[in-house]
Amino acid sequence: MKRLFPIIIFLSCILQGETKVFVLCEGNFNTSTAALWQFDDSFADINGPVFWNTSDNPLGDTGQSLTIFGNYLYIVVNNSHTIEILDISNNDPVFHKTILVPNASPRDICVYENKAYISCWLLSSILEYDLNSETFTDTIQTPGKPEDVLLYNGKLYSSIIEESGSWDKDNKVVEIDLESDSNEITNTYEVLPGPNQMAINNNELFVTCTHFNENWQAMTGTSKIDLSSGVVTSVSHGTTKNSGADICYYNNSIFRTLDSMIVELDDGLEPLSESAISNFGSQNIYSMAMNDDHIFVGLTDDFQAPDDLMVLDMGGNIVKQYSVSALPGSFGFFTNESLIKEDLAKFSPHVFLHDNYPNPFNPKTNISFSIQEKSFIEIKIFDISGRELETLASEDFLPGVHLIQWNGAKYASGCYFYQIKSENFSKCKKMVLLK
């Protein structure tokens, strides 16, 4: 019976569906010109604005950020003080609900164990919102204006971009233990002034920072926090022409925007200029994200509509370019996967298995998954015949995003499958070892 189990799982693997790409255009402040656009990974036509329109059903004033969690898309509308939620499980997004956040100036949102955490400038706080009872359940005071929020291993991290009640830049990142009863700030890290976007990998938190010097020149840099030791490393990159500074972890590397380029950072946080991507003409980079071996870049030259969205391959070659609304600032990626359901493979919205990267690979690849609640998780590797090769994990994991590396050095080139299994859920995906 033990030999049969992997074959059953093999037969009930994922039938991959398309990846939907959502783009939130910020619009202009004090105007209801925020807009949502959508296309898929065939990179055909773009659809938008989605659901809302600026004439008689506006999304709102200043689309600050978006987050996808489960089957829902959460849109933070900063100057309208709302969170708009769409159900995106079907081809056409369906409106789900609006969360009102009066006089709060919300900036970002993440979800943990059916509770949303919303960073709010005007409150100098992070609000906790229970998605089941649809009520606010806690206010977490922060030592300044919280900007980005990021969840990792049961802890919430927030960049404190400005001091409370002023426009002076702050220099802190706070850590909040969501496993405690009181949502306490357990650590405060000092980074470069103006901390903004964050990315995390292997217990290291990377932060982009931008501030103005005494001559009102925009200065930018990157800080890295070792969450194990608490040691902070910071490197200034000098003056910058761009106010945006997105950062992401992809294929074992950290990438960020720097002036009109996308650069990889070395272990010392210095930009690797020789591999920089900079074919954007006179336009400024407003935003950047990476997914499935593609780079997505929001561009603007005058902060007015229409602006451009460019899709590149990882070598910097242009795959597609779209015209969208003003200031494309946030991206979200959603794969609606149809499953062949077996008794051993029931769908669970609490576990999400991401695509491995790189893929194809030689000989190592990264396998990541997300869970909404503490769960016992098994990660196993199978060959093309369904024969079990290795068990990479068999233990309890805390809520958040987790990454495990597989080394296929001792195996031949070919197709392999990686499978995740929890108490009531199983899913597997294909990967290619190419030597």
Model pLDDT for residues 3-15, shown as the tens digit of each residue:
333 333 333 333 3
Helix (H, G, I), strand (E, B) or coil at 4: helix
What radius of gyration, in Å, describes the C-alpha atoms of the chain? 22
Residue 57 in this model has a pLDDT that exceeds 50 = yes
Q: What is the pTM of this model?
A: 0.76
**Rounded to an integer, what distance in angstroms lies between the CA atom of residue 86 and that of residue 102?**
20
Mean pLDDT within 39-65: 94
Residue 1 in this model has a pLDDT that exceeds 70 = no
Residue with tokens 């009109």: 260
Mean pLDDT within 241-263: 87
Contacts 24+ apart (CB under 8 A), 305-310: 305/25, 305/27, 305/33, 307/25, 308/283, 309/23, 309/37, 309/46, 310/280
Spatial CA neighbour of 197 closest among 210, 211, 188, 208: 208
pLDDT digits (tens, 9 = 90+) for 327-355: 999 999 987 543 323 332 333 446 788 88
Q: Lowest-pLDDT range, 172-181, 240-249, 292-301? A: 240-249
pLDDT digits (tens, 9 = 90+) for 60-118: 999 999 999 888 999 999 999 999 999 998 888 999 999 999 999 999 999 988 899 99
Report whether 266 contacts 275 (CB < 8 A).
no
Map out the domains of the chain as residue ranges. Answer: 4-12+345-433, 20-335
Where b means 16+ CB within 10 Å and e means fewer, 6-34 reads beebbebbbeeeebbbbbbbbbbeeebbb
DSSP string, 64-117: EEEEEETTEEEEEEGGGTEEEEEE-SSSS-EEEEEEE-TT--EEEEEEETTEEE
Question: What is the pLDDT confidence band of residue 2, given thresholds at 50, 70 and 90?
Answer: very low
Residue 207 in this model has a pLDDT that exceeds 90 = yes
Mean pLDDT within 274-292: 89
pLDDT digits (tens, 9 = 90+) for 373-400: 788 999 999 998 888 999 999 999 888 7
Residue with more model confidence, 427 or 417: 417
| CB-based burial label for 5 (10 Å; 0-12, 13-18, 19+) | middle
Which H/E stretch holds residue 315?
Answer: none
pLDDT, position 281: 79
Report whether 75 contacts 84 (CB < 8 A).
yes
The CATH number that domain 4-12+345-433 falls under is 2.60.40.2550
Sign for the pseudo-dihedral over CA of 84, 30, 35, 298: negative
CATH class of 20-335: mainly beta
Question: What is the pLDDT confidence band of residue 419, given thresholds at 50, 70 and 90?
Answer: very high
Mean pLDDT within 37-65: 94
Q: Six-digit token pair at 352? A: 């999400």
Which H/E stretch holds residue 11?
Answer: helix 4-11
**Rounded to an integer, what distance in angstroms lies between the CA atom of residue 66 and that of residue 73?**
7
